[in-house]
Chain A
């Protein structure tokens, strides 16, 4: 095969395959397009797949109920493959080519900061549905996930009351771990406790032996972990192998987000405390009905409906509620409607938009790992995003557009 014919045939193949990837051609003219940008392959797909599944379910449910404003919805799904350049490209395509009424997506804080300016520039409404470190202040953006003032603020006092005042923090070495560990420190000190040490680990560290000995030497009453990703699972393994999970208890802001409680054995992680907005074990009629629909659509053997997946489902519902209230798809009208205080009764309880910060007021629960399940021990009603509202007021400064780094 000579070069010319190779180029020709391979570009034809490329065009063919990308045409099947992009669902544009099939779209009817009057369908409302909803953009969905979640990692379905690459290192983050464990987080992204349940989110995309919830997107699909939410859109299908709304269409079955007659759509929005009398029109059907069409999901335009993109897979950025855990690659930041693709995030920028797909955000642009969503905004300009698909003219999406809203774009939902982004998982890591890095990916959010890639697509947020792109969507702002092209005037496409953006929903970020992931738990994160807080502080985003942008009128075009709604952050429906929980922030440290909602989860860490409850988890730390609960754990300290149960276990003691001397805390040792281990965290992932990037902005999430750095900022979250500062919040942990703040809440520990507010409770009259002390932080023995905060140790950061690059995401590829797998040998925790020295740290574990250091922790033993420091003799803390409890550990707080903000470790992230596959390599860091090694910490919990080695922690248990040294027999310490029986001696020093552990609370975490990230554990179970990637289904760690299913990967590890019950002997290794039973008794860990975590705190999120949603747990699939929540015993409410809405959650039961939701799980029934979810399992019917995606199979009863679905390992775990994650916090991030529920964030996505509820984020979409909030947007749909906003559109109904506005009676229009016009971006500014929808924002104004959402800012008037829209709320839904989601599977995790009542979720409402906080007009000043574009974050959410929602329920937060603390759960304990028991035999590969997360059993809820306490639920706190209607927690406000106090960290972000301390620095951000979009009612007063609608043109504000930045992420505040909160000093704890």
Chain B
């Protein structure tokens, strides 16, 4: 019984982790069709922003939940202005450009911060579930993922900005004819995507070692999740995260961590063979 609860918490945690790691990419890649290979580096910047703010004496929660997204959002604005703006509609070119950006960001951070692992300890301590202990921070990650998904849904469905953003992504010419400046909408959306990636980096900082190259461990999983999700970004994000997170975690429990990773990738391959458009290409059509 205890074990069942612990497994359930761990599965939810894995799902939540994928949602958080992939949310920024779902916006930038899923909505805007920019293949952002610098996604992992945006997360890395978020982690460093959290660390820096915390070392300057700021409360850790503020550093994670406020400073990280704001800082990376600002970087997003800058990079959109300088690079990404020129490449909308040219998917393959965005891939090359953002790959270059990711190398550049790793290089800059390495020369400033050094190639050493840093980090902060996870707050909140642990609580007992029968004979097992679970880190309290695990529940924070799950809660943040739920809030994040609900917020994205609310913004896209219930606010004028969401409507404008969705409309502009679908038909920029029409949005323009209605008096909306598509360039500005693109810039804002990219910044929001970057900020979400920064938030993910901030939240992960206490769980992983913070190194300039840490992004590499997450970027592949984020792409698999977003592509597996298909065209509806939010339903796809949550659906694919649930599927892959659960498979990964259960396989890890039953076998070894290596086979857990293999099971995730295998599931993704099989799923894309059966559903080439992703989960929401077949199910939940027309949802968000």
Contacts and interface: CB of A to CB of B under 8 A. Distances in A.
Nearest to B136: A241
Given A214-B253, A230-B209, A202 B121 contact: no
A383 interface: no
A232 B133 CA distance: 20
Nearest to A170: B257
Contacts of B209: 206, 230-234, 237, 263
A211 B257 contact: yes
B253 A210 contact: yes
B14 interface: yes
A204 B118 contact: no
A405 interface: no
B188 interface: no
Interface in A254-310: 258-260, 263-265, 267-268
Interface stretch (A38-46, A107-115, A359-367): A38-46
A261 B136 CA distance: 23
Given A210-B260, A265-B121, A267-B121, A42 B115 contact: yes
B159 interface: no
A267 B7 CA distance: 27
A231 B214 contact: yes
Interface string B188-222: 00000000000000001011110101101100000
Interface in B102-147: 110, 115-119, 121-122, 124-126, 131-138
Nearest to B122: A241
A238 B207 contact: yes
A43 B213 contact: yes
A396 B162 CA distance: 79
Interface string A30-70: 00000000000111011000000000000000000000000
A234 B115 contact: no
A230 B214 contact: yes
Interface in B16-54: 17
A200 B256 contact: yes
A287 to B, nearest CB: 24
Contacts of A232: 209
A243 B217 contact: no
Residue of B125, B135, B253 contacting most chain A CB atoms (<10 Å): B135
A233 B208 contact: yes
A216 B253 contact: no
B10 interface: yes
Nearest to B117: A230
17 contacts: A41-B115, A200-B258, A201-B258, A206-B204, A210-B10, A213-B3, A216-B131, A230-B213, A230-B214, A234-B207, A237-B121, A237-B122, A243-B126, A259-B116, A263-B209, A264-B119, A265-B121
Given A210-B257, A217-B132, A234-B209, 20 more contacts: A41-B110, A201-B257, A207-B14, A209-B14, A213-B3, A213-B253, A230-B209, A230-B211, A230-B214, A231-B208, A231-B217, A233-B209, A234-B208, A241-B121, A241-B122, A241-B126, A241-B137, A244-B126, A260-B117, A263-B209
